Structure 1
Amino acid sequence: MSGTRITEQQVRLYMSNRKHHPQKLAAAKSGMSERTARRVEHDAGLPSQQPRRYWRSRPDPFADVWESEVIPLLRSVPKLRVITLLRKLQEDHPERFPDSMRRTLERHVSQWRALEGPSKEVFFPQTYQPGVRGLSDFTHMEKLGVTIGGVAFAHLLYHFVLAFSRWEYASVVDGGESFQALATGLQNALWQAGGCPREHRSDSLSAAFRNQQEEEDFTVRYAALLDHYGMEGTRNNRGLGHENGSVESSHRYLKDQIDQALELRGHRDFVDRVAYDEFVRGVVMRRNRRNAAAFQVEREYLLDLPEHRTTDFVEEEARVTRCGTFTVRGVLYSAPSRLISHRLKVRVYSDRLDCYLSGALVHSTARTTSTSKGRGRAIDYRHFIDSLKRKPQAFRGLAFRDDLFPREAYRRTWERLDRDMTPRNACKTMVGLLDLAGNHGVEAQLAGRLDALLDLGELPDLGKLFDEFAPREAECPVVVVEMPDASLYDMLLDEEVLA
């Protein structure tokens, strides 16, 4: 093949075959052309013993512009790419430097950078001792295209790695890189590993470091978390993710394996968040099996765990308004109406909110993060059903009306009702459908029936749907109890005496 150098092994094989075969056949058996075979027989010695050719076989097309145009650009802006230089030359000298000369220019630039270019950053390979370092980081998962119930699930993974054994822990984070997510994920990893490394390393997480101050140090909460587990906190330099390479490199391999597992699964949709959590946990467990021997060695060097976990939440206060809602971190949540006007102690976890009143847990809900479009909302329609049944006309102008629909089918139904029925009947019917879905536990089944009715162009009949999904219990039968005569009990006493 033109441009391919022959090896010493090919030459030796050719010379061996040449003893018993003609030149053409011996060349074919050794993977070279007949012309090359003639040159091999003419030359004395092996290819490594031949002098290399250092002269040009054709004129240098960049000779007259190299010193005057290319080198000044490289010296002023060393990071310029070769394709940028070629485009610049094509603009300055039209029809002189075609795209086919790109490889020639790349060789010129590569040689110049090796001889006169700026120094490059050196990467220092590290050796790790067991039980010394654990690393944490977050990685985005949007590119995997995971959906929950058919809705795109934008999320992160918290990822923890022990540097020596490569043992891993990963958990799904629905939100940002908050302290709650870091504290929950790190503590879960340590308790699953059964011990603590001496050093915990991360990048410049705002949840752990005061990055806006001149003298950067740990936040109070992160320092308390490290003290509780007896670990020393370290960080890599800002913007240099490769310094956290033991976990950064694992991100790619873990996400690749999750992606491949999703391909084998056949689809990327999950029934709920719990199912997806279990799926990710299964992938991580399979990866850890390969490092089981090294982990058993490192396990002996880990520090002992404390007697209990430390707090992985932030406590805030919120008052439930007369609208049955309260606000925490820019997100509007709903609450049972019995809590209206009460001030709650809210523990904000990475995935949920626990609300306490006088020390008693009175309400718990999944945590929602605010969006770029404005304040987020987490409204549970069940909290408003009883009040809306008394005031159904309030449904039409409700500020968070669209957040009450538990599924897309209910929103489509409201649009059809609002279009084809009177305002009074539309509101009454919609509130009745929400009552049927929430108070009788048929939200999913009713949504399927509503979709079918809408596809047929029919409006839902509230009475028929109640009869179908929540039939009234039949009246209790009349039971007539005949009381026996009291003298019959004396016969039982006589039989007991005889026994």
Structure 2
Amino acid sequence: MPGKPVTDQQMRYYMTDRLHYSQRIAAARAGFSERTARRIDADPRLPSQRKSARGRTVPDPLEAVWEPVLLPILERDPAVQAVTLLRHLQMTDPDAFPDDRVRRTLERRVRDWRALHGPERDVIFRQTPEPGRMALSDFTDASELGVTIAGKPLQHRLFHFVLAYSGWEHAAVVLGGESFTALSENLQNALWTLGGVTHEHRTDSLSAAYRNLDADAAADVTKRYEAFCAHYGMIASRNNPGEAHENGAVEAHNNHLKTALDQALILRGSRDFSELAGWRRFVDELVARRNRRREAAVRTEMAELRPLPARRTTDFTEVVARVTKTGGFLVHSVFYSAPSQLIGKRLRIHVYDDRIEAFLGATHVVSHPRQRGRSDGVRVHCVNYRHVIHALRRKPQALAGSVYREGLFPRSEYAEAWAALSAALPRKDACRRMVDLLWLAHDEGCEAGLAALIAKTLAQGNLPEAGTLKQRLVPRRRALPEDPPVQLTDLASFDALLEGRA
């Protein structure tokens, strides 16, 4: 064929046929022209034997600088980039390298040098997972899913627990950062849901859990994590910092889980949930469906798991705080209210990822959803109006200037009532009316019903007043129901029983 080089095989066919056929016929049978046959007869070497080594067609633009200038720099630090070397040449000899014309040539030269003489590269060793051997945990940012709670964006993470062999997984919504509290609480939930314990538990370097901790606090977290794993009989291991592939069994599942959640939210038609519990339930249901597809592998792995201990271990952080005269206590720069009877008492606070529990001795006294401090220094308040309503009723004027006034309102309708009252009435009257509304909600136990009446009153253009709204509330049943009639048994019937036994 014209334009195609003759191969060694074609030439062998030609030389064999040439013994029996003419030059034209032998060339046609071999697949080339008679002119090519004449060249072959003149030089019977095979094409592969006639090939000459290909040399440069243009002069090497780096010949004068590669060995004396550039190689010493590369050997001293192979991480130097080709463009850095080019800028160095342009500064030292601007006449020889006025532009970036040799950049691609230099990049290829540096690439080839690294491949032949560069430092050793890290190698990833693929592993064969063993049933019951390893479980892995990780935190992954889930804000990209765009989930909202009652219209407000939810900034959160997912704690993700995966078995290396079967792929069984457990996921939990984490509102705070990567902390030991979040790890211990959710890891225990995963193990008790699974019903067994693996031989080894691997995490990443837990650098986020140690962030902003001094040396003593970091050492304490390390001891607590080791004690936690010892309680369950697991070997605690971590991957090397910056080597995410060492935690790859869970890193890959992170992306798969978030993709599955994203697709499930698309099918749902909305990413908004009325409350956080609805989003948690949505995650749990999707993970349960994914685990059902792994039942065969899970049964194999369950046979190799160790039994759970008799009880759970500590999955919270404990701090001690004193209830001040302002009616609350501070935990991690957040103010939490407490009943006024506890003023001056020292409470033991159990800090979980999503709540705090306060104890006076061994008696549970206060619960609050956990809040996080703000980065701008403004103090966050978490106040239950029932804790301070008795004192506020005696001093209603304190409502107007209270630093945690907005936190006192249990529902948005109460905040709207305060805005309307403070705009229409003098401060003294507005405070008294608002405190009366809060007292009515507390005393009658009608927080939701009263909120509905307040909204209706405001919609009609009127100001809410406790005495008027109390008459419209459904009366709370205070008296016990009447005693039901009791039919007493005739004593003579017992004589019949005794006679029958005789």
TM-score by length of 2: 0.70
Task: Summarize the Cα distance change of 1:233–1:459 in structure 2 as closer, same or farther, 3 Å threshold.
Answer: same
Determine if the alignment matches structure 1 residue 295 to structure 2 residue 298.
yes
Q: Look up the match of 1:278.
A: 281
Q: Distance in 2 between the 1:340 and 1:326 partners?
A: 9
| CA pair 217-356 structure 1, distance change in 2 beyond 3 A | closer
Partner of 1:337: 340
Q: Distance in 2 between matches of 1:273 and 1:193?
A: 24
Is the contact between residue 196 and residue 304 of structure 1 (CA under 8 Å) also seen in structure 2?
Answer: yes
Q: Distance in 2 between matches of 1:323 and 1:211?
A: 30
Moved more, 108-117 or 198-207: 108-117
**CA–CA distance in structure 2, aligned partners of residues 84 and 452 of structure 1:** 70
Q: 1:143-200 deviations in whole A, cap 9, x for unaligned?
A: 2222222222222222211111121111111222232222111111111111111111
Q: Counterparts of 1:192 and 1:216 in 2: how far apart (Å)?
A: 30
The percentage of aligned residue pairs carrying the same residue is 45
Counterpart in the other structure of 2:486: none
Q: How far apart are the structure 2 equivalents of 1:91 and 1:220?
A: 55
**1:437/1:227 Cα in 2 relative to 1: closer, same or farther (>3 Å)?**
same
Amino acid in structure 1 at the alignment position of 2:372: T
1:174 aligns with 2:175: yes
Aligned counterpart for 1:327 among listed residues 325, 330, 334: 330
User: What is residue 224 of structure 1 aligned with on the other side?
Assistant: 227
Amino acid at match of 2:447: G
Q: Structure 1's 150 and 85: CA in aligned 2 closer, same or farther, altered over 3 A?
A: farther
The reply on whether 1:160 has 2:166 as its aligned counterpart is no
> In structure 2, what residue type is equivalent to 1:441?
E
Aligned residues: 425
Q: 8 Å contact 1:407–1:447 — kept in the other structure?
A: no
Residue 261 in 1 paired to residue 261 in 2?
no
| 1:228 Cα deviation from its structure 2 partner | 1.7
- How far the C-alpha of 1:106 sits from its partner, in A, is 6.0
Matched to 2:248, the amino acid is G
Contact 2:417 2:463 in 1 (8 A): no
Aligned AA for 1:176?
A: G
Q: Name the structure 2 match of 1:313.
A: 316
2:243 aligned with 1:237: no
> Gaps (5+ residues) in structure 2?
1-31, 37-50, 478-502
Cα distance in 2 for residues equivalent to 1:451 and 1:86: 77
Aligned to 2:389: 385
Q: Give the counterpart letter for 2:430 in structure 1.
A: A
CA distance in 2, matches of 1:475, 1:160: 48
**What is the CA distance between 1:277 and its match in structure 2?**
0.9
Q: Please give the alpha-carbon distance, in whole angstroms, between the structure 1 residues aligned to 2:120 and 2:412.
A: 59
Change (3 A) 1:441 1:326: same
RMSD value over aligned CA atoms?
4.4
Change (3 A) 1:297 1:201: same
Q: State which of 441, 447, 464 in structure 2 corresponds to 1:441.
A: 447
Match of 1:190 in 2: 191
Deviations 1:7-40 (A, max 9, x none): xxxxxxxxxxxxxxxxxxxxxxxxxxxxxxx9xx
Does the 8 Å CA contact 1:356/1:362 hold for their aligned counterparts? Answer: yes
Letter of the 1:315 counterpart: E
Identify the match of residue 418 of structure 1 among 400, 417, 422: 422
Residue 443 of structure 1, CA deviation: 7.4
Equivalent-residue separation in structure 1 for 2:476 and 2:285 (angstroms): 51
Q: Which has the higher mean CA deviation after the structures are superposed, 254-263 or 315-324?
A: 315-324
Once residues 365 and 432 of structure 2 are traced to their aligned partners in structure 1, the CA distance between those partners, rounded to angstroms, is: 30
| Distance across 2 between alignment mates of 1:76 and 1:280 | 53
